[in-house]
Amino acid sequence: MDLRNVSEAAIEKAKEIMKAGPISVQKDLTSASGFDGYNLQPVAILLQPVITPWRNNIPRVTNTRGGVASHWRVISQLVSKNTDPFVSADFLTWAAEDAARGFEGDIRARAVTNLLFALMIQEELVIGFGRVSDLGTVTAPTVVTSATGGTIAAGTYKVTVRAITGMGDGTNPRGKKSSQTTTSALSGSTNSMTASTPWVEGAVQYEWYVDDGASGSSTLQTTTGINSVALTALTTSGTVLPADNVANSLAINGLIPQLTAALGAQIKTLAKGVDGVGTDFTLDDIDSMNKAVWDNAKADPETIWMNSTQVVRATNLVLAANGAPSLFVSNVADMKELTGGYLLANWINKATGRVQRVRVHPALPDGTMLAYSNQIPFPTGGDMVGVDIEVSRDYQQVDYALTARRYDFEVFCREVLRMKFPGGAWIIRNIRSNQTT
């Protein structure tokens, strides 16, 4: 200690204290003195929440090709609308092969694979809707006009209905047209019209064309799954009415043509109802059809095939009938997770007790549902399969000799759909379109 600045009086005072014996000399310090340490974390905590579910869900890939911009292809459709399932041929030019070098790998193999996939997609349509013969007569539509309810201008119009089969040929579905029905002269600018035609056996949808008398052609207004339409406005930019193109000698008869050929299948065509609206199906319709095929053929279909609209409608009907809630708890222990909505995945056949699977088919039009038996439920003296595809030559690639600077090839198969138990099938059709509730 440096005592040079300590006064003589302070030293003498300290001697007197020390003569009194051993003592502790201290200065009282408390938390109130302000000498406490301050526990400050050296690094600030980030308070910004990082919640990025889309970023977390979408995969991240590294650019291995360089460059200052990224280019990619967008898939806007799975197969060209111009694919004809009865002419499964394609070609690859040498220029295209050269242009794809280093990018697409084996472009010839890819072209063949794409053609095979296109054939499979179209084959699915053939299995459902292909037909060798023509449709029956399509009756000219009955047209009713009104001076209110729409924006159709004054004039005289010609209305044509075209029954279509579900098959496609180029950009145009295969179908057969009626003769035209001419309206009376309309006045004003708030007109509307409805049209209807008797159900055409073998059809699954109807296209409605109108000739306004000025454009010089009949153009497509809309397509319905029922045999009527309501039009409140007209367009002149639709597809022009094509020629009939139903029959094809290279086709096979699919499920719909075989089941509607009066071979024992149960067919229920709902009433026309209000033009443009139709008749809604009920759950009793399904039960009555299941009972009918059982009573008539002792059939017990395994699956009911529906369009997505009918699945939603049937689900809502089941919920309404049972008074069920629209959500359920998937983690009851702590009530942490709720799931909303239901899906009709199975249907109990009240006639037999079988649990039928309900499935959505991407090509089945809105307005039609069907069921058929994969197995024959009683001894037949032969095989017990209710429906099969007999193949005389399965998928095969054929490469042709070079005749130009391109590779020509085709992928084909030769087969026939055999509906051996039509009595085990049923169809409900002419179901109200776009009805889900």
For 157-182, give the DSSP string.
-EEEEEEEEEEEETTEEEEEE---EE
Complete DSSP assignment for 123-157: HHHHHHH--SSPP---PPPEEEEESSSS-BPSB--
Q: What is the C-alpha separation between 232 and 76, in angstroms, rounded? A: 31
CA distance linking residue 259 with residue 242, whole number of Å: 27
- CA 292, CA 321: separation in Å to the nearest integer? 23
SS3 of residue 192 by DSSP: strand
**C-alpha to C-alpha distance for 152 and 213, rounded to whole angstroms:** 13
Q: N- to C-terminal Cα distance for the chain?
A: 97
* CA 45-50-51 angle, 5° bins: 150
Burial annotation 241-255 (CB, 10 A radius, 16+ → b, else e): bbeebbebeebbbbb
d(CA 95, CA 404): 12
How far from the centroid of its chain's Cα atoms is residue 66's Cα?
38
Nearest to 199 by CA among 227, 240, 166, 232: 227
Q: What is the pTM of this model?
A: 0.79
The residue with tokens 């049937």 is 314
Distance of CA 88 to the CA centre of its chain: 25
Helix (H, G, I), strand (E, B) or coil at 352: coil
The residue type of 437 is: T
Per-residue pLDDT of the chain (437 residues; tens, 9 = 90+): 555 666 777 667 666 766 666 555 555 656 666 666 666 665 555 566 676 677 787 787 788 878 877 767 655 555 555 566 666 577 777 777 777 676 666 778 888 888 888 888 888 888 999 999 999 999 999 999 999 999 999 999 999 999 999 887 556 789 999 999 999 999 999 999 999 999 999 999 999 999 998 878 899 999 999 999 999 999 998 899 999 999 888 888 999 999 998 778 999 999 999 999 999 999 999 999 999 999 998 999 999 999 999 999 999 898 887 666 666 556 656 666 767 778 899 999 999 999 999 999 988 999 999 999 998 887 776 678 888 999 888 988 888 898 888 888 888 888 899 888 899 999 999 999 766 56
Closest CA to 386 of 261, 281, 264, 283: 264
